[in-house]
Amino acid sequence: MLENLKNKTVILASQSARRQELLKMIDVQFKVEYIPDLNEDYPKELDITEIPLFIAKQKQEAYKHLWSVEKNIVITADTIVSLKNKIIGKPTDKNEARKILKQLSDKTHLVVSGVSIKSNNKTSEFYSTTFVSFKPLSKKIIDYYVENFNTLDKAGAYGIQDWIGFTSINYIIGSYYNVMGLPIDKVFDNLKNF
Amino acid sequence: MLENLKNKTVILASQSARRQELLKMIDVQFKVEYIPDLNEDYPKELDITEIPLFIAKQKQEAYKHLWSVEKNIVITADTIVSLKNKIIGKPTDKNEARKILKQLSDKTHLVVSGVSIKSNNKTSEFYSTTFVSFKPLSKKIIDYYVENFNTLDKAGAYGIQDWIGFTSINYIIGSYYNVMGLPIDKVFDNLKNF
């Protein structure tokens, strides 16, 4: 469908298996290049909705050797989970995962993804917001999830496409795929311009 | 997780591959029994939100030989797509699929699923609603989708988990899985009581 990309090389600068899966679903050929441990600091005065895009743009600086080359297009992204205007990060261990899920229980939180797409002569930058409402999560539900699934690599300690997403989410407002880590409908629209 | 089902036989009375996939995701063992061409008539005075549950309950009558047997639990479901309070059915050919997608373009429609769960001594009945907002769909997008994907077995001529769902849906309000055909979080909660 995106014929304009036929002679281009799309590079997804993310190690997230979920982002790779989403980009495949819109029939884009791409390769993955990932530089670990990039700076994810941001100015304290930013609004929650501005933070992921700020980080995505900052990440692009590290990929300049790729997007400054003709025909290359680099995609960087960052996703945060926020509850009551406070950022909920990735848990460092199972105990913290349980604590985070207890916080999210019976509440609606916000997921924000920021995306930067860059070539040698074009830039697209955008973000997407989704509200996610969790049912009350019993200790049994939380323990089962944390013991049987990998929560440590996930902001907010959950994957919407995992067991807990099927059993325990009431509703969402926004893009489902944004919660998975990439607002793929906006990526599709913005790739048309490259 | 649903230990109460260990000595029960859960029967999904649906040939929908998507419903089977969703039921698997909550770790329920089940088998599929499907009687084709059941009556899907309903009283004209029903509200749109009441129709799928009415049909799901009506379908259960045809499975009485199953749920009246001790330890069996039968799940029936029906899903409708509705735009401006009018039901949009399954297309009969590609031409109709294109017409339906043109109707849904740049509008928000409603998806309603009704579910009946029945054993010899218990009944749970519920429904779920999700609003789905499509972006403007170009002729190119519609033609590509209808030519490359199966739209004929789908109410509203689209699958949210297909290419068009990734590229062309702005946002949803409600359960994503309900749009796939089964409000799996409610199924999980209601199965606890059996």
CB contact under 8 A, B175 and A171: yes
pLDDT band for position A190 (cuts 50, 70, 90): very high
pTM: 0.96
Amino acid at B117: I
Give the ipTM. 0.95
Contact (CB, 8 A) for B135 and B171: no
What is the per-residue burial (b if ≥16 Cβ within 10 Å, else e) of A72-109? Answer: bbbbbbbbbbbeeeebbeebeeeebbbebbebbbeeeb
pLDDT of residue B28: 95
Number of other CB atoms surrounding residue A44 within 10 Å: 5
CB contact under 8 A, A26 and B171: no
Compare CB distances from A176 to B27, B135, B176 and report the shortest one's residue. Answer: B176
CA–CA min distance B165, chain A (Å)? 8
CA distance B131 to A92: 36
Look up tokens 């997921």; give the residue: A111
* Paired tokens of B146: 């209808």
CA neighbor of A9 nearest in space, from A64, A69, A67, A73: A73
Contact (CB, 8 A) for B164 and B98: no
Q: Residues A22-33: pLDDT tens digits?
A: 999 999 999 999
Look up tokens 């859960």; give the residue: B10
CA–CA min distance A188, chain B (Å)? 6
According to DSSP, residue A185 is labeled H
Q: Residues B85-133: pLDDT tens digits?
A: 999 999 999 999 999 999 999 999 999 999 999 999 999 999 999 999 9
* Paired tokens of A9: 């090389």
CA–CA min distance A25, chain B (Å)? 6
User: In chain A, which residue's Cα lies nearest the Cα of B175?
Assistant: A171
Q: State in Å, rounded, how far the first CA of chain B is from the last one.
A: 13
Number of other CB atoms surrounding residue B76 within 10 Å: 26
Contact (CB, 8 A) for A172 and A132: yes
Half-sphere CA count of A47, side-chain side, radius 13 A:
7
Q: Residues A86-145: pLDDT tens digits?
A: 999 999 999 999 999 999 999 999 999 999 999 999 999 999 999 999 999 999 999 999
Residues 6+ apart with CB under 8 A from A21: A180
Number of other CB atoms surrounding residue A192 within 10 Å: 12
| Active site residue ranges of B | 78
Q: Are strands A86-88 and A72-83 parallel, antiparallel or unpaired?
A: antiparallel
CB contact under 8 A, B173 and A173: yes
pLDDT of residue A59: 97
Task: Tell me how far the alpha carbon of residue B168 is from its chain's centroid.
Answer: 20
CA distance A137 to A54: 33
